[in-house]
Amino acid sequence: MPEGDTIHKLAVYLDAALAGRVVTAVRLHPAFGASAGARRVLRVTSEGKHLFLTFDDDTALRSHLGMYGAWHRYPRGADWRKPRRQASVVVSTETDDFVCFNAKEVQWLRRSGFQRADQAARLGADLIRDAVAPAELRRRVAAFLAPDTTLVDLLLDQRIAAGIGNVYKSEVLFLERRAPLARIRDLDDAALLALYRRAAALLGENLGGGARTTRFVADGRGRLWVYGRRDLPCFHCGTPVRRAVLGRQPRSTYWCSVCQG
């Protein structure tokens, strides 16, 4: 599933392919708004799990892949691997179509407009690009979340810090020995900061090629500590890993009931 590391790598790839080029059309699924004609791409960037294509006419196209979205590249005229009805965005050049399928959100923005500024303000620090500032982290937590908010909800809230998805949520909580249903009020400032520094480190470790990895042990037993390992023994204590659907927006969470209390 796309998380901050995936979107960052996607932005780097699309920027190399499109920055400085004139695209012949930007076609949106009608559910997301109007299509547009030829324009030059200035850059492609990521902010957490959001991707921005910025153009030379003061517009930017924001997309969020959600759980099921994906970008594909096809030579013009080639068959697509997914049905055309699933295309949320098609960015065409003279030689290629860059197709975003099944996006959760797509939005036109003015680069210098209120909506773009508001979008940036509503996202916390990008954990790949920005240093974690302790005072700002605590300020955003106090501003947006109640003290009884669970840690599964805390880590997925992009207003606090951007880039953590469902896999990193479970892995960070395991590595920091925090129970998924512990509350914000259970953490002091140092423990709160440690969660986000751990997430930033893991995201940074996964900016190269290869499968997502949080367990850097070359024993062939697995790349992740708990995610996807329901009923398998914990790598630390041997207790079967648990799984449950938790949180305000229910998502699968994996944890060790012994190591994480």
Catalytic residues: 2-3, 49, 251
Q: What share of the chain is helix, strand, coil (3-state, %, to 5)?
A: 30, 25, 45
Spell out the residues 6+ positions from residue 105 whose beta carbon is closer than 8 angstroms to its own.
Answer: 32, 62, 63, 64, 66
Q: What dihedral angle (degrees, nearest 10) is formed by the CA atoms of 116, 122, 127, 130?
A: 60
SS3 (DSSP) at 255: strand
What amino acid occupies position 154?
Answer: L
CB 162 within 8 A of CB 189: no
Cβ–Cβ contacts within 10 Å for residue 84, how many? 10
CB 11 within 8 A of CB 51: yes
Task: Quote the tokens at residue 201.
Answer: 């480190």
59 vs 91: CA distance, rounded Å = 14
Q: What angle do CA 174, 178, 183 make, to 5 degrees?
A: 140
Task: Quote the tokens at residue 152.
Answer: 């599964």
CB 171 within 8 A of CB 227: yes
CA distances from 154 to 157, 170, 175, 238 (A): 5, 12, 16, 28
CB 136 within 8 A of CB 121: no
